[in-house]
Homo-oligomer: A and B are copies of this chain.
Amino acid sequence: MNEREPESQSGEDRLIARYFRPLATHPGARALIDDAATFTPPAGVDIVLTTDALVGGVHFFADDPPDTIAKKALRVNLSDLAAKGSRPAGFLLSLALPAGIGEEWLEAFARGLGADAQAYGCALLGGDTVRTTGPVTLSITAFGTLPRDTMVGRSGARAGDLVVVTGTIGDAALGLLVRRDPEIAERWQLDPAQRDHLIERYLLPQPRNAVAEALRQHASAAMDVSDGLAGDLGKLCAASNVAADVGIARVPLSDASSQAIASDPALMETALTGGDDYEVVATVPAEARDALMADAKAAGVALTEIGIIRADRPGMHFLDQVGKPLLFKKPSFSHF
C-alpha cells in the first residue's frame, strides 16, 4: 500500500495497515501487501500444519479481553505444534468481524497477538479480514518445522510405554464454571488466588512448546489435551491400537482444582473430561522415561507420569486407589 494514494485504500486495507502490518515482521510476510506469503523451508525438514478456529460465544465469551482472545487463538495452535514435537515457524490469521467491533478492541487484539507471536517465535505471515453478521470468528493456521519424518504422531504408543502429561489437568474446565457463575468459587471455598488461577487457565492456555524438542526425541506418541484427558488419551489409544491405565490419584491437579474437587468430588469427572487444558499427553518407552523427565525439567515444564500402556482392546481406563476402573458419562467434550 502506498501511503500517498489513500483513494486506493479500502477500509480493509486501512485496518490491516494499522493493526496487523506492525506484526508482519517476517520478510516472507511481505508487509501484508501481497496476495500470499512465502516461507523458505530449511533443508531436510518437514512442515507441520495445524488449524484451529475459535467462535465468540462458543470458545470464548464476547466480553473476554481482546488481547487474551487473540492469544488463545494462537496458543491453541501452538499447543498442537508442541505436541507434535515441532518448532513454530509462522501463522496465518483469518478474522471475521461483526460491525460493532471498534478500534479499541482491534488495537488490544493486535497487541496480544503480536506479543505472543514474538514470545513463541511464530510470526504473522498473512491473513484475511472479513465481515460477518455472526460473532467474532477467528481461524489460525500455524505451521512449524522438524527434521524429516520425526513428527510425534498419535499412533506410536506401545505396550509397556509410560503415560505422561504436562502441567495440571482440569483447571480450564473448572475455570469455565467459575467464569459462568462467580458464586461457585465461594461454594468451592476457593481463596481469591485459587479462583483467579482457574479463570486465568480458561482464558489463556499455556502451550508447552518448551518441551517440544524433548517430546520429539523421546516420546513414542503424543497429542495435545484440548477436549479432556479422558477422551483425548482414548483417541491416542485408538490410533495406537493399545489400552492405557491411568491412576486417577496420579493425575496432576493444581491447588485450586484440588480444593474444588475436595469440596465437590463429582468435579473430578469434570476435570478429567472437560476441555481446554492445552497440556500434552504423551507416551514414552520405559528406557527413555528418565531422559524425557530430565529434559522437561531443564525446559521448566512440569511432567508427571500418570499411567501405563497395555496391549489390549483400545481404550483408556481411569483406575481408583485400589485399581478399580471408573466410568464417565461423557468421556470427551464436543460441541456437536
Contacts and interface: CB of A to CB of B under 8 A. Distances in A.
Interface of A: 1-2, 4-5, 7-8, 10-15, 30, 33-41, 43, 45-55, 57-59, 80-81, 83-84, 86, 90, 92-96, 125-135, 137, 139, 141, 143, 148, 151, 153-155, 223-224, 227, 231, 234-235, 237-239, 241, 313-315, 331-336
A139 B53 contact: yes
Given A47-B39, A94-B53, A314-B2, A128 B137 contact: no
Given A2-B314, A39-B47, A132 B134 contact: yes
Contact of A1 (B45, B81, B130, B235): B235
Contacts of A95: 53
A35 to B, nearest CB: 4
A52, A59, A224 — most chain B CB neighbours (10 Å): A52
23 contacts: A2-B241, A5-B238, A7-B331, A8-B237, A8-B332, A11-B334, A12-B334, A30-B153, A33-B235, A34-B84, A35-B84, A36-B50, A36-B84, A39-B49, A40-B46, A40-B47, A41-B41, A52-B94, A58-B133, A94-B141, A133-B134, A134-B134, A134-B135
B58 A130 contact: yes
A37 B335 CA distance: 23
Given A1-B238, A39-B49, 13 more contacts: A7-B331, A10-B336, A15-B336, A35-B224, A36-B86, A49-B143, A53-B95, A53-B96, A53-B128, A55-B131, A96-B137, A133-B135, A134-B134
